[in-house]
Amino acid sequence: FISHSWHDDADAKWAVLQAWRVDFRARTGREPLVWLDRACIDQAAIESELSNLPVYLAGCQALLVLYGPTYLTRLWCVIEIFVFLSMGGQQVELCPIVHANALPPPATFRTAAAQASRASDHARMLSFIEAAS
């Protein structure tokens, strides 16, 4: 499962993803199989498709985080990590898309400060995290 922020630089994410792919192939002798939201979710029915997020995440062996400057500010990104770990996922691989010094330290993250594109999503996702914690 590839987790990333749509607000981070697409070219930087692509470059890091390709480097990760080359490393994966060298380690395993095969191409990786990945779940990528844009390719796997019907963009015309996002609301209904996202209710299946736990199923998608539960079927993944690992969570690949393309960690950029806006990643921790996006509530959907945080939800993906939360759900993956809640579903028993154990392998989270962080791939910074910029120099580590340019990234906010994860220790500074505050759930309530993360943003969603819509206010209704924000309130719903925060209540989901609170209920499951």
Q: For residue 133, what pLDDT is reported?
A: 67
Rounded to an integer, what distance in angstroms lies between the CA atom of residue 107 and that of residue 45? 35
CA–CA distance, 55 with 37 (Å, rounded to integer): 13
pTM: 0.82
Sheet containing 91-96: which strands, arranged edge to edge? 2-4, 62-67, 91-96
| Single-letter code of the amino acid located at 124 | R
Mapped to the 3 state alphabet, what secondary structure does the chain carry?
CEEECCCCCHHHHHHHHHHHHHHHHHHHCCCCCCCCHHHHCCHHHHHHHHCCHHHHHHCCCEEEEEECCCHHHEHHHHHHHHHHHHCCCCEEEEEECCCHHHCCCHHHCCHHHCECCCHHHHHHHHHHHHHHC
Tokens 């209920």 found at: 131
pLDDT at 46: 67
Tokens matching residue 46:
């996002």
pLDDT along the chain (133 residues), means of 10: 93 96 97 84 72 82 93 87 88 89 74 77 77 72
